[in-house]
Chains A and B, each alone.
Chain A
Amino acid sequence: MSAEGWNAKSRGNATGYRIFGFFLRHFGLNFAYINLAYVVLYFVLAAPAQRAALWDYYRRTWHYGRLKSAWCVYLHFFRFGQCLVDKMAITQGLSDKFEFVAEGYDDFLESLNRGSAIMIGAHVGAWETGTPFFGDYAKRMHIVMFDAEYQKIKEAIHRGAPQLPYNIIAVNEDDLGSILKISEALQHNAYVCMQGDRYVNNGRCERLDFMGREAVFPQGPFILGAKMRVPVYFYFSMREGKKYHFYFYRATVSTAGGSRACQLDLMRQYVSRLEQVLHTYPQQWFNLYRFWSDPSAAV
């Protein structure tokens, strides 16, 4: 099945990161947020594709009116910026400025203490904020990302950015064997984290009903979840003011109907959990491109 997906590139500006890093170091978190409110105005104007995607999100997914949608688009950009600033603050050692609460964490830890696990997240909230909370467990964390993204991170570290507290598994579609790094990590009691909501062109995908509209999801994380015979968790880290709420939902992995049925079942469980999270945190949906595959209509 083929569909238009994410283009595997993320928008980011090194100068912006440096400026906000400076604000955080010298003036604190609140000062950074205040400045963000102005910077966001620029992005609302200068990022038409993201703005259009959010407009579509509020108008056609949430069925908000024009005025409410316009306000929510601004707030959405702001919330996105806040999550980036928070991630940066936590990387810079300001995790004591935040409160962390978790749901389903004991069960998750029990699985980790027994061996390995697969975590499937999404581009909602800010999953990286969990790393100080995980303590030593973070050392066993392996994040799966595309090689192109990993190269950017390596360059940033080379330029002086802090080392990552977790490991990276860089996968490359041109290298058949790269996916085996995931099974090898799992065999060594690692827990492997993937995002389950970004389909990249030419990859295997599934069309599912999501928030009342048809959307395309990648099959990869769920195929691995169905095959690897390790516990699968859906993980979301959501912002609630200066508190981060971590959700660990254990998925039911049943191999009864074969691996294809298991994969589909996992995907449906994931979509249902993601919907649940979005209903609580609608402004923390950070797939800032046209996510839904239904034809465009003027809204």
Chain B
Amino acid sequence: MTDYKEVLIGQLSEELEVSRDKFVDGALLKDDLGFDSLDLVDVVVLIEETVGVKLTQRDFAGVKTFGQMLDLIEHKRQA
């Protein structure tokens, strides 16, 4: 997971103007990383471009932390 995770964190950090060190597994997308629903549109596009994985609204149900988002990406990559 490490290869793309670092690239993704770098791009998310730049896009959302959030310090890289805040992207830890337990970080809450909304409260700790300041994501709002409109950011998610960018994030999904970014994930698609960086990792080649397309995430849908259904995939995101129940995803609250950055770690859960990474698990979701990994799961979709392997599917």
Interface residues of A (CB under 8 A from B): 171, 173, 175-184, 204, 219-220, 223-224, 227
Among A175, A180, A219, contact of B55 (Cβ-Cβ < 8 Å): A180
Given contacts A176-B60, A177-B57, is CB(A183)–CB(B41) below 8 Å? yes
- Set of chain A residues within 8 Å of B56, measured between Cβ atoms: 180, 184
Q: Do the beta carbons of A176 and B37 come within 8 Å of each other?
A: yes
Q: Do the beta carbons of A176 and B30 come within 8 Å of each other?
A: yes
Q: Which of A175, A177, A184, A220 has the most CB of B within 10 A?
A: A177
Which residues 7-55 in B have Cβ within 8 Å of A in the complex?
29-30, 35-38, 40-42, 44-45, 55
- Set of chain A residues within 8 Å of B60, measured between Cβ atoms: 176-177, 180
How many angstroms from the CA of A178 to the CA of B62 in the assembled complex? Answer: 12
How many angstroms from the CA of A220 to the CA of B41 in the assembled complex? Answer: 11
Show 19 residue pairs from A and B whose CB-CB distance is below 8 angstroms, ordered by the A residue.
Answer: A175-B37, A176-B30, A176-B60, A177-B57, A177-B58, A177-B61, A178-B37, A178-B57, A179-B37, A179-B41, A180-B56, A180-B60, A182-B41, A184-B56, A204-B38, A219-B38, A223-B38, A224-B38, A227-B41
How many angstroms from the CA of A184 to the CA of B58 in the assembled complex? Answer: 11
Interface residues of B (CB under 8 A from A): 29-30, 35-38, 40-42, 44-45, 55-61, 63
Secondary structure at the A interface, as helix, strand, loop or mixed, is helix
Q: Do the beta carbons of A176 and B35 come within 8 Å of each other?
A: yes
Q: Do the beta carbons of A176 and B29 come within 8 Å of each other?
A: yes
Q: Do the beta carbons of A180 and B57 come within 8 Å of each other?
A: yes
Q: Do the beta carbons of B44 and A183 come within 8 Å of each other?
A: yes
- Set of chain B residues within 8 Å of A183, measured between Cβ atoms: 41, 44
Minimum distance in angstroms from B54 CB to a CB of chain A: 9
How many angstroms from the CA of A153 to the CA of B61 in the assembled complex? Answer: 24
Q: Do the beta carbons of A171 and B41 come within 8 Å of each other?
A: no
Given contacts A184-B56, A184-B57, is CB(A177)–CB(B40) below 8 Å? yes
